[in-house]
Amino acid sequence: MAAGLVRMLFRAASGDMVWRKQTFLADRLGQTIASDLVTIVDDPLRRATRLPPFDAEGVRSRKNVIVERGVLRQFLTSTYSARRLGGRSTGKPPRGQLRAGGRPSNLYLEPGRTTRGADRLGRRRPLRDEHDGLRGQHGEGRLLARAAGLWIENGKLAPPVAEITVAGNMNDILKGIVMVGNDIHHTWGSVRAPSLKIATLTVSGA
């Protein structure tokens, strides 16, 4: 679910979405949009097996810091959307997606300092100071998410829960991140994130 949140922000920062005013980030460049624990980067040059050094438009690939310590630093643009926004291409779009702002190449939320261990059954423990709450395992949607996961009670993992709904909006979720784990795995796909603790969400269902 944490990686899904990062992917949604990537889409919201697409230059094509921005110039069309179809994203909540459209007029927020340089503003604080998230907790200062949040830094989100797309860096095609970091992978052990590097991606092509140029995108489908011939623009050199480069590291793009989208959010830095909670501040929105840049949008992700093709040549076309950059021209509409008065900037320059960030070297993102693959072939067939020139106007959509591209897709993630090596997108990740930088890990924090909080360490998670495992219990005697090998299950990952909650983040430190995570006394009660929900550890989600699947979700979809922007403001309303179906989810399943493990309930956390008194700092310990409780029985699993399913058929629940988690509600919130991106502004509140991003600013409500109060803890970031250091358990990121840079070999897990093109979008990655460590464990996150979000202060407040609405949870309903059985």
pLDDT at position 25 = 92
The 10s digit of each residue's pLDDT in 16-56 is: 889 999 899 999 999 999 999 999 998 877 765 456 677 77
The percentage of the chain sitting over the pLDDT mark of 90, rounded to a whole number, equals: 22
Q: Among positive and negative, which fits the CA dihedral 74, 79, 84, 87? A: positive
Q: What is the pLDDT of residue 99?
A: 46
Provide the pLDDT for residue 18.
Answer: 92
pLDDT at 169: 82
What residues pair up with 149 in beta bridges, in sequence order? 136, 161
Distance, CA of 157 to CA of 135 (rounded, Å): 9
Question: Is the model's pLDDT at 190 over the cut of 70?
Answer: yes
pLDDT at residue 57 tops 60: yes
DSSP single-letter state for residue 3: H
The larger pLDDT score, comparing residue 172 to residue 54, is at 172
Q: How many CA atoms lie within 13 A of 41 on its CB side?
A: 13
Given a cut of 60, whether residue 183 has pLDDT beyond it is: yes
Q: How far apart are CA 135 and CA 158, in angstroms?
A: 10
pLDDT value for 200: 82
Measured CA angle at 65 (ends 59, 70), to 5 deg: 155
In this prediction, residue 96 has a pLDDT band, given cuts at 50, 70 and 90, of: very low
